[in-house]
């Protein structure tokens, strides 16, 4: 029963707007019902009150004997710790015994016992030590209760036993309340952790999905992303009666660059193409590297004439590049899906690919960029 003057702060997450009695639903009716269950009635209260004067006169001696016995137990001696703590414990024990023999088991009395329980729970006193200390106190009090009057001590001793059991059950209820609070806190924290973990998994899944759609070198969309997005955009084009233009782009003389100066020089050139595509594209445009030196761009809501405006922006960015002594130019082909027409992705890709090869033939003849005017599919 190593009670403290005040409970440490932050001891739980119970409803701070409610008293302990309210949290335990210890109403006046319930308090009286429990007194009946423990046989703690008016007669027992009178028996305890009859001992009050004698107990009060010997209170220091009783408290000294109690803490002498408690200090002999290593676990309890560690909790008591120092002289200041001992002083506060002795003061609290004086009040505890004084109230016990007043015989007034009212709401204030019950609340004081509940506070004793919650404090012991918060400071980590095990139940076994608390129950053992109750037994120690009872054994110390018994001879004083017997000696308080010259009458038969059995009614007084029985009243003491009932009162101590009544106190003990209140303390144990607060221990259980503390456990339930810890369980609720653990469930709450576990749910928060599960929620946060779910968000992490969702974000990681999204990142992995995005990575699976990205070209590792240029960070443009890859072959898989291109085919997924093209199907989606063609369906939207048909549904909303909007044009869609597909651009195929291929680097000229790229194999010569790789063979002469190595793949690092080739990778640098591919990254430059990607950077130019990012600058030339609008927010709604989608660009991809299909593999090797082949790129494509999906231009939603764009017809062939507007697609050539995209090529103008691209040409202004790329112009003519000297990559490690090799002049690099591009060949560009176009294909437009007719607004509202049901155009299959493979059909549009074939037309854009043929357009790009016509552009490449022109580039071989001129040594400049090769650009084909493109065709409409589904007209």
pLDDT digits (tens, 9 = 90+) for 91-108: 888 888 999 999 888 888
150 in Cβ contact with 51 (< 8 Å): no
Pairing verdict, β 294-300 and 286-291: antiparallel
Listing DSSP states for 122-154 in one string gives HTT--HHHHHHHHHHHHHHHHHHHHHSSSS-SH
CA distance 6 to 91: 12
Mean pLDDT of 164-182: 82
155 in Cβ contact with 24 (< 8 Å): no
CATH code reported for the domain at 223-377: 3.30.70.270
Location of structure tokens 């576990």: 190
Mean pLDDT of 199-214: 87
- Say yes or no to pLDDT of 292 above 80: yes
Q: Is there a common fold for 20-191 and 223-377?
A: no
Mean pLDDT of 199-204: 89
Q: Which residues contact 248 (CB under 8 A, 6 or more apart)?
A: 294, 295, 296, 332, 333, 334, 335, 352, 353, 355, 356
CA distance 176 to 179: 5
To the nearest whole percent, how much of the chain has pLDDT over 90? 45
> Higher confidence at residue 225 or residue 12?
225
CA distance 215 to 210: 10
- Say yes or no to pLDDT of 162 above 60: yes
- Say yes or no to pLDDT of 15 above 70: no
The correct answer on CATH 1.10.490.10 for the domain covering 20-191 is yes
List C-alpha distances in Å: 220 to 271, 282, 288, 329: 10, 14, 5, 20
Structure tokens at 72: 């002999």
CA distance 41 to 162: 10
CA distance 336 to 287: 16
Mean pLDDT of 311-319: 81
Q: Provide the pLDDT confidence category of residue 35 given band limits of 50, 70 and 90.
A: confident
- Say yes or no to pLDDT of 8 above 70: no
Spell out where the chain has E strands. 244-251, 286-291, 294-300, 321-323, 326-328, 330-337, 370-371, 375-377
- Say yes or no to pLDDT of 316 above 90: no
Lowest mean pLDDT among 53-67, 76-90, 92-106, 263-277: 76-90
110 in Cβ contact with 15 (< 8 Å): no
Backbone Cα Rg of the chain: 44
Location of structure tokens 């010569």: 256
CA distance 80 to 89: 8
Mean pLDDT of 352-366: 92
> Higher confidence at residue 313 or residue 47?
47
Give the SS3 label for residue 226: helix
Give the SS3 label for residue 192: helix
* Residue ranges of domains in the chain: 20-191, 223-377
pLDDT digits (tens, 9 = 90+) for 231-283: 999 999 999 999 999 999 999 888 888 888 888 888 988 998 999 999 999 99
Could you tell me which of 62, 134, 160, 82 has the C-alpha nearest to residue 125? Answer: 134
Mean pLDDT of 356-373: 90
Tell if the pTM clears 0.85, that is, is over it.
Answer: no
Backbone CA torsion sign across 208, 212, 218, 220:
negative
Q: What pLDDT, on the 0 to 100 scale, is given for residue 319?
A: 66
Give the SS3 label for residue 325: coil
Q: Provide the pLDDT confidence category of residue 321 given band limits of 50, 70 and 90.
A: low
């Amino acid at each position: 029963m190593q009670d403290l003057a005040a409970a440490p702060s932050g001891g739980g997450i119970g409803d701070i707007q409610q008293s302990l009695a309210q949290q335990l639903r210890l109403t006046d009716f319930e308090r009286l019902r429990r007194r009946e269950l423990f046989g703690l009635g008016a007669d027992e209260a009178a028996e305890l009150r009859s001992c009050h004067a004698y107990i009060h006169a010997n209170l220091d001696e009783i408290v000294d004997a109690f803490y002498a016995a408690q200090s002999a137990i290593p676990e309890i001696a560690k909790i008591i710790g120092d002289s200041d703590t001992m002083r506060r414990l002795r003061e609290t024990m004086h009040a505890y015994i004084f109230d016990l023999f007043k015989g007034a088991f009212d709401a204030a009395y019950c609340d004081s016992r509940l506070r004793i329980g919650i404090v012991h729970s918060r400071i980590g006193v095990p139940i076994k030590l608390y129950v053992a200390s109750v037994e120690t106190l009872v054994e110390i009090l018994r001879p004083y209760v017997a000696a308080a009057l010259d009458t038969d001590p059995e009614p007084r001793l029985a009243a003491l036993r009932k009162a101590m059991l009544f106190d003990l059950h209140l303390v144990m209820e607060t221990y259980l309340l503390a456990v339930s609070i810890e369980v609720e806190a653990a469930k709450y924290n576990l749910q928060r952790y599960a929620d946060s973990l779910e968000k992490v998994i969702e974000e990681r899944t999204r990142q992995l999905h995005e990575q699976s759609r990205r070209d590792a070198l240029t960070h443009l969309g890859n072959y898989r992303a291109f085919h997924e997005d093209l199907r989606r955009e063609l369906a939207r084009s048909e549904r909303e009666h909007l044009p869609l233009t597909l651009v195929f782009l291929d680097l000229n003389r790229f194999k010569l660059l790789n063979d002469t100066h190595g793949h690092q020089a080739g990778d640098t050139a591919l990254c430059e193409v990607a950077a130019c595509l990012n600058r030339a594209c609008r927010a709604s445009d989608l660009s991809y590297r299909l593999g090797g030196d082949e790129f494509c761009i999906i231009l939603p809501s764009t017809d062939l004439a507007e697609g050539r405006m995209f090529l103008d922006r691209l040409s202004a960015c790329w112009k003519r590049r000297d990559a490690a002594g090799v002049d690099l130019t591009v060949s560009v082909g176009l294909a437009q899906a007719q607004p509202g027409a049901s155009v299959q992705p493979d059909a549009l890709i074939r037309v854009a690919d043929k357009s790009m090869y016509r552009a490449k033939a022109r580039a071989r003849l001129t040594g400049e960029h090769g650009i084909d005017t493109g065709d409409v599919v589904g007209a």
